[in-house]
Amino acid sequence: MIRTALTALLSHWRRHPMQLAMLLLGLALATALWSGVQAINAEARAAYDRAATILGQDRLDRLEPASGTSLTTADFAALRQAGWPVSPVLEGRTVTGLRVLGVEPLTLPRDAATAGLPGLSSDRLTDFLRGRIALVAAETLARPEVAAALEGVAATAAPDLPPMTILADIGLAERLLDRPGEISAFLIDPSRPLPGPVPIGLTLQAPAADDGLARLTGSFHLNLTAFGVLAFAVGLFIVHAAIGLAFEQRRGVMRTLRALGVPAWTLAALVMAELLALALIAGLIGVGLGYALAAALLPDVAATLGGLYGAAVPGTLELRPGWTLAGLAMAAGGTLAAGAQGIWQLMRLPPLASAAPQAWAAATATTRRWQALAGLALLLATVLALVAGTGLWTGFAVLAGLLLGAALILPAALAAGLAAVAKRAKGVLAQWFWADARHQIPGLSLALMALLLALAANVGVGTMVASFRATFTGWLDQRLASELYLTAGSPAEAAALRAWITPRVDAVLPIVFAEVPLSGQPGEVFGVADHATYRDHWPLLSALPDVWDLLARGEAALINEQLARRAGLDLGMILDLPGGPLPVAGVYSDYGNPAPQVMLGFDTFTRRFPDVEVTRFALRLPSADAESFATRIRQEFALPDTALIDQAGIKAFSLKVFERTFAVTGALNVLTLGVAATAILTSLLTLADRRLPQLAPVWAMGLTRRRLALLDLARTLVLALGTAVLALPLGLALAWVLLAVVNVEAFGWRLPMKAFPGDWLKLAVTALVAALGAGLIPALRLMRRQPAELMRVFANER
């Protein structure tokens, strides 16, 4: 009996392969977007974890130097002789951006022993100790930067190291970094007691669960996750529509089966099993698609994370059980949630009841009103949260509230709009058209909500990206005012270069910097020469009138926006710095840099940091000569490519990082929109049969099927356009929240919002294209309906 019942149930799909395809597609797409995003996040987090655990930072206490000071081997010997179980670590970046970690294997605590160190055979360890080999992540072993940095040293693959990181003996590390005798921090061996209080000049750092990268990049991943959830929600609309349709169309079969004696619960179990099987198939396809999506996007994500945060994420994807299973579970859960209503009705179906179809998602005018009220309340709460709350999560809560509130209001708003138009409609056909459009809203409301969300996300993210881009390019022009930027390999080379270059260019501006903790975070202090290059171009957000004179005289400092926001500093306020506090004379924008930064006059800087040697210069010369001059310096001094960077090169690189960042967002945007269009299509297909009784009389009155189909398509377009009109303000609100709330919380900078009306037009067209794509097939089907089918409406007892 069960087999017969199952065959009867499943025969539906054989007769409606399109519906089956739609269901599978919707579910697979939703799962793909969700699991793709999760896969990217999982890969990135794994990379951060590797970076964080590489020296046991997540388990070991550290002794770090007080602000503005550095540690030496003499400090190390003194601490060891005083009984401190410490092991020195030297960390830094090469000029080519490779992270170098220097460790001392003999004192390295067992908990810190890492990546390849335990796996090396004993003769390799001797070589390690002697600086003859260094460990590099396998995937970056072949990178030219690595080869250049490790000339004469054998690079050995170490599977556990993060990409673009060299783990070396501290003796080799100080050579690679050109920091002889320096130590960044001490790791403390947890197996031995500490001999006394922490010595003056050092601070004890508790183990950090991450090395800041996870926190820093958290907003980026939150962003992706939000996209994934949004995509999944939109995908569920499709699934809900397809399943609702299947239930609707099988009411007759089910009634018959019940009448033949199949118990309700057996039927329910069969339907449930069917749904789960479908979910599993679609889920597997979705996870596969998600993997492909993630693999395609990951190189861009990795480049973004590297460019924005210096986080090294491998460009290759691993299939991790975490997100694979989560994807399947989401698919199954989503399917059951979408089918719950149907199963519930099925259980309560009286076997002898009429098989009259009911609207599967009938929303009456009353429920619509309540929905709208709830939506308004949500929007109000959102505004309150915006006023009262702080933090990144508030930003995201505001985003969610905005989207959900607007979605709830959408049916009522559309109905009101259509009612208003209908009042002015002249002629019977026009009145019928508008009234019928309004009548369709309940059935289409979920799909239209999906469209609203997708469109709003498009506007919001698009506006944010465009605003960011406009600001960013302008800022780059200001910030990179010099034509060439030169980094010498050593102070001696720097002096030689300077002597040779000075008579040949308009100006040589030395740039010096020191890494210093600022407001409790690792930051940088720069020293810059007093020159028109800065006076005319530097991107100051706010400044005292005589800011550059104050800076040149060493009476004030400039700070970046991130530091100003984090430390709550404003003009005239006092900033604590190594060598004494200084008032803040100006705040400048510093996009793409998450760290706090301070700018001092060159002379003040050299007084405060006498050990810092001048090895970097900005060169001013006519921009037309920059390229040929760069070639001349390279020939004259045999400089490596990385030592001399021209302004155009930096700009191109910065813009590339930028474009990649948002390429990911763009791709997800398009996919979300595609999912929304699919939702409309499914809903329309669902509605098509139900609408026959309404269309048949109109046809009988003389409207051709072709005309009816065109009107149907027009109706879909009108609804989509109405949704787009509502999506515009929602999208702009979204953009504002992203720029003024989320960005500030996540990155520490606020961007001016710019309007791009051209994009709005594009939005309307996009909505229409999506609706057209979705409405075309149902319209064509309507056009090809057999007159007999339409006739039957009148004969049918339904």
Partner 1 sequence: MNGKAALLCLLLGTPALPQGFADMGASADGFALPNRETVLAFPADHAAHPEFRIEWWYLTANLQGSDGVEYGLQWTLFRTALAPGESDGWRSMQLWMGHAAVTTPDAHFVGERLARGGIGQAGVNVGEGAPFRAWIDDWAMQSKAAPGADVLSAMTLTAAGPDFGYEVQVQAAGPLVLQGDRGFSVKSETGQASHYYSQPFYDLTGRLDLPGGPVNVTGHAWLDREWSSQPLAADQTGWDWFSLSFDSGEKLMGFRLRDADTGFTSGTWIGADGTATLLEPGALQADPLDLARVAGRDVPVSWRLTLPERGLDVTVGALNPDAWMDTSIPYWEGPVRITGSHDGRGYLEMTGY
- The binding site for partner 1 (CB under 8 A) comprises 73-74, 76-78, 80-83, 104-108, 110, 113, 117-118, 120-123, 125-126, 129-130, 169-171, 174, 180-181, 191-192, 195
Q: Are 281 and 289 in contact (CB under 8 A)?
A: no
Provide the minimum distance between the beta carbon of 105 and partner 1 in the complex, in angstroms, as a whole number: 6
DSSP H or E run through 646: strand 644-646
Closer residue to partner 1 in complex, CB, 85/327: 85
Element (H, E) at 102: strand 99-103
What is the DSSP code string of 223-265?
Answer: HHHHHHHHHHHHHHHHHHHHHHHHHHHTHHHHHHHHHTT--HH
Q: What is the closest distance, in whole angstroms, from the C-beta atom of residue 205 to partner 1 in the complex?
A: 22
Q: Kindly tell me which of 191 and 786 has the beta carbon lying closer to partner 1.
A: 191
3-state secondary structure of 185: strand
Bridge pairing between strands 574-575 and 185-188: unpaired
Quote the least distance from Cβ 125 to partner 1, whole Å. 4
**CB 175 → partner 1: shortest distance, Å?**
9
Answer yes or no: are the C-beta atoms of 133 and 166 closer than 8 Å: no
Report the helix count and the strand count for the chain, using DSSP H and E. Answer: 24, 20
Is the Cβ of residue 174 or residue 210 nearer to partner 1 in the bound state? 174
Nearer to partner 1, 104 or 561 (CB): 104
Rounded to the nearest 5 degrees, what angle is found at the Cα of 302, between the Cα atoms of 297 and 308? 125
Phi, psi of 743 (to 5 degrees): -60, -45
Q: Work out whether the CA dihedral 323, 326, 331, 334 comes out positive or negative.
A: negative
SS3 at position 522: strand
Q: For partner 1, give the closer residue by CB, 135 or 447.
A: 135
Integer Cα distance of 288 and 324 in angstroms: 9
Side by side, which strands form the sheet with 202-205?
154-158, 133-137, 165-169, 99-103, 86-93, 185-188, 62-65, 202-205
**From the CB of 195, what's the least distance to partner 1, in Å?**
7
Output the six-digit token pair for 696: 């048949």
Closest approach of Cβ 50 to partner 1, in Å? 18
CB of 171 to partner 1, least distance (A): 3
Angle between helices 428-479 and 392-424 (to 10 degrees): 150
Residue 83 vs 252, nearer CB to partner 1: 83
Contacts with 797 (C-beta within 8 Å, 6 or more apart), sequence order: none
Which is closer to partner 1, CB of 135 or CB of 741?
135
Output 121 or 628, the one with its CB closest to partner 1: 121
Show the tokens assigned to 542: 């706010």
The CA distance from 376 to 369, in Å, is 11
* Least CB distance to partner 1 at residue 147 (A): 23
| Dist CA 714 CA 702 (whole Å) | 19
Nearer to partner 1, 123 or 797 (CB): 123
Determine which helix (DSSP H) or strand (DSSP E) holds 617, and give its type and residue range: strand 616-620
Residue among 106 and 387 whose Cβ is closer to partner 1: 106
Question: Is there a contact between 27 and 286 (Cβ–Cβ < 8 Å)?
Answer: yes
The minimum distance between CB 181 and partner 1, in angstroms, equals: 6
How many angstroms separate the CA atoms of 738 and 309, rounded?
Answer: 19
Nearest one of 219, 572, 151, 604 to 393, comparing CA atoms: 219
**Minimum distance from residue 523 beta carbon to partner 1 (Å):** 28
Shortest approach of partner 1 to residue 118 CB, angstroms? 5
- Considering just the CA atoms, what is the radius of gyration of the chain in Å? 33
Which CB, 77 or 209, lies closer to partner 1? 77
Residue placing its CB nearer to partner 1 in the complex, 180 or 581: 180
CB of 108 to partner 1, least distance (A): 7
